Amino acid sequence: MKFALTSVKPVLGEFELIRHYFAAASCAQAGEGVALGIGDDCALLQVPVGEQLAISTDTLVAGVHFPESPDPFLLAQRALGVSVSDLAAMGATPVGFTLALTLPSADADWLQAFASGLDRMAQQCAIRLIGGDTTRGPLSLTLTVFGRVPAGMALTRKGAHVGDLLCVGGELGDAAGALQLVLGQRETEPAVAEPLLARYWSPMPQLDLGQALRGKATAALDISDGLLADCGHIAAASGVALIIEQARVPMSAALLAFAGESASRQCALSGGDDYRLAFTLPTAHLADLQQAGWPVRVIGRVVAGEGVTLLDAQGQPVKLPFSGYQHFGRVSD
Ligand code: ADP
Ligand code: MG
């Protein structure tokens, strides 16, 4: 039931739009785990015996999470990548996602490009569009992703043990470093700009790494709000302290070339939008994972206590002037 006065139908017609751009998209076609997709009141998912469903929702709002008038292909690709990253963080295998789309108007070219971007990321993540909702209003997207994970094997934020290593799944800070390029505030040579913009616009969820960490990592999450803030979540949920050695936090050559050492470090520690995994790992698993080629970079360790401590190259604690992004500000400083 919708209130006629507040829910204005897009020009194209809501049902035509859904049928043409979403139900017809290749990512909306039948696939493993989806018993019923777009077109009915609910989708139906088939969860294998012995597995659990992992579910996560993310909302992206124009002007808050992406520029006001983004490229629709890149927007769709990024929105889905960001959402699926939560499945990677739990060690889950993607099954399906829903898309609640609020649009100021129904422009055919815009929708076509948007659907193509969605298709591209959906194919890379092997996830299918199973339903959604379409309304008119200021541009925003809400994606809900569904994945499956063997019962009891999901990687959670709780479980880090004193003595574990603290690791990340690769270089950090590129997406935050790309923000000036995204907003058109700065330009640079393609060899530097392209890798940074790619990390912003098409964050590839570390799905394979997440699944490889099942039964090995003791706690995990994907870094969305910045390494320091997100490590704080693992520390709090696990009832431990995390020590991060600043010199071991990996940064890309492109970021260093673009932003210089000090600003790059700030991006890597607090910038957000990385969508790399951060996890705690018993020392015994490190060599096997690295030899198998997984991008496991040790940046610190788990000790008794609480909170996150950053150490400089001399092993001295660094005062933390910055933290991750929070929409409603900090409760205390
Ligand atoms: P209802 O009124 O029963 O909620 P809708 O008319 O909103 O159904 O949607 C009709 C069908 O189209 C449903 O299966 C819904 O999941 C799907 N759908 C609506 N919008 C989208 C979208 N943006 N992307 C994918 N599927 C959508
Ligand atoms: Mg609906």
Summarize pLDDT for 83-115 with one digit per residue, the tens. 999 999 999 999 999 999 999 999 999 999 999
Does residue 328 form part of some domain? no
Same domain (yes/no): 289, 187: yes
Predicted pLDDT at 332: 38
Would you tell me how many other CB atoms lie within 10 Å of the CB of residue 194?
14
pLDDT at 15: 87
* Shared domain check, 26 and 131: yes
Number of folded domains that form the chain: 2
143 with 175, same domain: the answer is no
Question: Is 57 annotated in some ligand binding site?
Answer: yes
pLDDT of residue 5: 36
- Domain finish residue from 102, 123, 150: 150
Stretch 117-134: mean pLDDT = 97
- For the chain, the C-alpha Rg in angstroms (whole number) is 21
CA dist., res. 148 & res. 62, Å (int)? 30
| Cα-to-centroid distance, 126 and ligand 2 (Å) | 25
Classify residue 159: in a domain, yes or no: no
Report the alpha-carbon distance of residue 86 to residue 44 in Å, rounded: 21
Q: Note whether residue 189 is domain-resident.
A: yes
**Does residue 144 sit in the same domain as residue 20?**
yes
- Domain span at 302: 165-311
Instruction: For residue 12, give the amino acid letter.
Output: L
Residue 86 counted as an annotated binding residue: yes
> Ligand 2 being an ion, which residues bring their Cβ within 5 A of it?
133
Whether residue 103 sits in one domain with residue 199? no
**Does 40 contact ligand 1 (Cβ within 6 A)?**
yes
Q: Are residues 105 and 81 in the same domain?
A: yes
Average pLDDT, the chain: 92
pLDDT (average), residues 291-319 = 96
Answer yes or no: is pLDDT of 330 > 70. Answer: no
Confidence at residue 319, expressed as pLDDT on a 0 to 100 scale: 85
Q: What CA–CA distance (Å, rounded) separates 217 from 214? A: 6
Position 284 in a domain: yes
CA of 132 to the centre of ligand 2 (A): 7
Residue carrying structure tokens 């390029």: 181
Confidence of residue 327 (pLDDT cuts 50, 70, 90): low
273 in a known ligand binding site: yes
Question: Domain holding 210: CATH number?
Answer: 3.90.650.10
* Bigger pLDDT: 267 vs 7: 267
Within a domain: 306: yes
Q: Which residue, among 249, 225, 203, 231, has the nearest Cα to 85 in the 3D structure?
A: 203
CATH number at residue 66: 3.30.1330.10
In a domain, 323, yes or no: no
DSSP string, 202-221: -----HHHHHHTTTT-SEEE
CA-wise closest residue to 90 among 154, 168, 167, 159: 154
Classify the phi-psi angles of 133: left when phi > 0, otherwise alpha if psi is within -120 to 50, otherwise beta. beta
Considering only CA atoms, which residue is closest to atom 20 of ligand 1? 133
Answer yes or no: is 160 within a domain: no
